[in-house]
């Protein structure tokens, strides 16, 4: 069968036209003149058949076109629905990102306000701290590296891959210039440096900070624990409850670090690439502090604040002698609990430690620990600060006890049927200890005026020496509000470190 398209093409060629005429409905038709011409050439039957086929083909095209239009509309609707869903998801993600950014900004603002807020918090009638302010009031970041200095030019050239960086830096480093730039950096960035020195560790976030210029402090006000009594028509005030304050000492600590600038040049460049910073934005003094001094200080402070045992430096120490151990710089809070445990009398609520905690008894031990809470603390939020490994032991035991239940960390860390929950404290790792105390009883001491913290650098030949001096301490306000389990092994470690020879383990 010959296709209509072929016949239509022949007709158009015979008529000498490129397209058929259109009627008022826009459909192709033959004119009277064209019909006569085709009749003369092919006969009446051909013309009538061709007209019928032409109308039929156009009908088919219209039906097909309408079907295609309907399909296209459905496709567009589906695309619109998908795009609407994707738009909603994108807006949701954007809102979550905005919320996360707002939360980060809020945390940053809280941190910046934290030191200033300390100034408004009296320390038991002993006065308030001095507000932390920069030169001229508001503390703003404005430091830029001095690119006129030879060592800054060197690592800027090396960062840019220039040949001018190819020289031996060791004999070209003017360390006296480095100490000058260090001093400028300390002045301009003091608030951030104070935060890094005294606020940021794993455990201090759970403590209540007190700023004081005293070397030791102690709670001095009474606590009313009961006011209810049976009625009698007389004035019968109830006496204020007695409690046992603990002395918290403030220790003067220091930082001594030797730096050879030429030895760290490659590391500085690597840090610039990793952090996507330019030399002008990241001076070498910032690298020295934030990559060499502060990370080690944070680590050592965390463990010293927990298990440190203070030992006074010997009077025979000379310049150049090895410095004392970080663990001897101050007395840690776990060491304070160990000292209370071996004391002849104490008001701290201790759980018996004659039986070590194991996977087989850890759940029972934790439940027994919670039973020590006195009625006033039964309904309060009582975080149990603990050795992370002890918490892992508890998690493992709980999952073994309930194998048919999928327990998340958040579920298992909540103590069974108790208003208490575990908090892992890195400084307590390997101690096997745990303790609980209400918010505000665990204290962190720091210098009354943090702006007086000393941080400076001295030059000597091709070496620079970083010096830092500050005050810090930790402990507890009231003994009666502490509930603790100190392992006998940790008590023995404390005795050895403190040079105590009397009393047995877990005394």
Is 91 a residue whose pLDDT tops 50?
A: yes
Asked if residue 460 and residue 365 are part of one domain, the reply reads yes
- Look at residue 96 and tell me if it is in a domain: no
Report the candidate in 330, 327, 441 with the shortest Cα–Cα distance to residue 380. 441
Clarify whether residues 391 and 493 are in a common domain: yes
pLDDT of 398-416, one tens digit each? Answer: 888 888 776 666 666 667 6
- Whole-number average pLDDT of the chain: 77
78 and 167 belong to one structural domain = no
Residue 236: band (very low, low, confident or very high) from pLDDT cuts 50, 70, 90 = low
pTM of the model as a whole: 0.64
Alpha helices in 119-162 (DSSP H): 150-159
Res. 122: pLDDT tops 60: no
Under DSSP, is residue 473 helix (H, G, I), strand (E, B) or coil? strand
Domain total in the chain: 2
pLDDT interval class at 71 (50, 70, 90): low
Residue 207 has pLDDT above 60, yes or no: yes
Structural domain contains residue 140: no
For 311-354, the pLDDT digits (tens) are 887 777 777 666 678 888 899 999 999 999 999 889 999 999 99
* Residues 169 and 72 both lie in one domain: no
Q: Is the pLDDT of residue 90 over 70?
A: yes
Q: Which of 85, 114, 146 is the last residue of a domain?
A: 85
Give the CA count within 13 Å in the CB-facing half-sphere of 469.
5
Whether residue 37 is contained in a domain is answered as yes
Q: Report, as an integer, the average pLDDT of 218-222.
A: 63
| pLDDT value at residue 78 | 78
Same domain, 54 and 178: no
Which residues partner with 104 through β-bridges? none
**What does the DSSP 8-state code read for residue 478?**
B
Pairing mode of beta strands 28-29, 208-212 = unpaired
Give the structural domain span for 75: 4-85
**Among 64, 85, 106, residue at a domain's last position:** 85
Contact 115/451 with Cβ under 8 angstroms?
no
Give me the percent of the chain exceeding a pLDDT of 90. 19
**pLDDT value at 434 more than 60:** yes
Q: Is 60 or 218 the better-scoring residue by pLDDT?
A: 218
- Asked if the structure places residue 124 within a domain, the reply is no
Has residue 131 been placed in a domain? Answer: no
- Predicted pLDDT of residue 111: 52
Q: Give the rounded percent of residues in the chain with a pLDDT score beyond 70.
A: 76
Per-residue model confidence (pLDDT) at position 113: 56
Which residue among 35, 69, 85 closes a domain? 85
The answer as to whether 113 is a domain residue is: no
The pLDDT confidence band at residue 126, using thresholds 50, 70 and 90, is very low
Q: Write the pLDDT tens digit of every residue in 377-388.
A: 777 788 999 999
Asked if residue 327 is part of any domain, the answer here is yes
> Is the pLDDT at 310 greater than 60, yes or no?
yes
Determine whether 391 is exposed, middle or buried from the number of CB atoms within 10 Å of its CB (0-12, 13-18, 19+): buried
Q: Two tokens at 25?
A: 């409905």
| Residue 499: both structure tokens together | 């040079």
| Residues 169 and 279 placed together within one structural domain of the fold | yes
Residues 326 and 429 in one domain: yes
> Six-digit token pair at 501?
């020879």
pLDDT of residue 450: 59
- Point out which residues pair with 217 in neighbouring strands: 248
**Cα dihedral 292→297→302→307 (10° resolution):** 130
Is 52 within a domain?
Answer: yes
Kindly indicate the confidence band of residue 109, based on its pLDDT and cuts at 50, 70 and 90: low
């Amino acid at each position: 069968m010959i296709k209509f398209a072929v016949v239509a093409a022949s007709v158009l060629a015979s008529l000498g036209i490129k397209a058929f005429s259109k009627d008022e409905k826009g459909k192709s038709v033959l004119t009277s003149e064209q019909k006569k011409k085709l009749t003369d050439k092919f006969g009446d039957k051909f013309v009538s058949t061709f007209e019928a086929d032409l109308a039929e083909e156009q009908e088919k095209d219209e039906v097909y076109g309408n079907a295609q239009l309907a399909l296209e509309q459905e496709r567009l609707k589906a695309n619109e629905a998908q795009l609407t869903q994707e738009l909603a998801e994108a807006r949701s993600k954007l809102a979550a990102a905005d919320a996360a950014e707002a939360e980060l900004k809020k945390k940053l603002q809280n941190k910046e306000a934290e030191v200033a807020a300390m100034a408004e918090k009296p320390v038991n009638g002993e006065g308030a701290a001095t507000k932390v302010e920069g030169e001229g009031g508001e503390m703003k970041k404005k430091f830029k590296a001095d690119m006129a200095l030879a060592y800054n030019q060197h690592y800027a050239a090396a960062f840019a891959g220039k040949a001018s960086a190819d020289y031996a830096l060791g004999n070209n480093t003017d360390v006296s210039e480095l100490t000058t730039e260090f001093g400028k950096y300390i002045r301009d960035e003091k608030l951030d440096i104070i935060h890094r020195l005294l606020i940021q560790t794993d455990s201090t976030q759970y403590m209540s900070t007190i700023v004081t210029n005293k070397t030791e402090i102690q709670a001095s006000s009474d606590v009313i624990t009961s006011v209810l009594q049976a009625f009698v028509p007389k004035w019968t005030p109830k006496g204020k409850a007695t409690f046992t304050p603990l002395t918290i000492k403030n220790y003067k600590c220091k930082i001594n670090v030797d730096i050879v600038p030429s030895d760290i040049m490659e590391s500085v460049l690597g840090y610039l690439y990793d952090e996507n910073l330019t030399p002008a934005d990241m001076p070498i003094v910032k690298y020295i502090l934030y990559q060499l001094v502060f990370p080690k200080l944070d680590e050592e402070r965390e463990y010293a604040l927990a298990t440190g045992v203070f030992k006074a430096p010997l009077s025979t120490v000379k310049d150049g002698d090895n410095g004392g151990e970080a663990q001897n710089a101050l007395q840690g809070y776990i060491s304070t609990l160990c000292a209370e445990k071996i004391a002849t009398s104490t008001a701290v609520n201790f759980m018996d430690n004659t039986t070590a905690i194991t996977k087989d008894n850890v759940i029972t031990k934790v439940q027994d620990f919670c039973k020590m809470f006195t009625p006033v603390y039964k309904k309060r939020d009582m975080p149990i600060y603990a050795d992370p490994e002890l918490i892992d032991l508890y998690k493992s035991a709980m999952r073994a006890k309930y194998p048919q239940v999928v327990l998340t960390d958040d579920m298992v860390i909540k103590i069974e049927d108790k208003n208490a929950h575990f908090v892992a404290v890195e400084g307590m790792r390997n101690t096997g200890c745990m303790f609980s105390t209400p918010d505000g009883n665990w204290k962190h001491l720091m210098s009354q005026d943090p702006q007086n913290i000393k941080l400076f650098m001295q030059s000597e030949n091709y070496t620079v020496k970083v010096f830092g001096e500050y005050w810090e301490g930790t402990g507890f306000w009231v003994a009666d509000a502490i509930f603790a389990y100190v392992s006998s092994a940790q008590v023995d470690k404390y005795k050895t470190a403190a040079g105590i020879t009397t009393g047995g383990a877990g005394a």
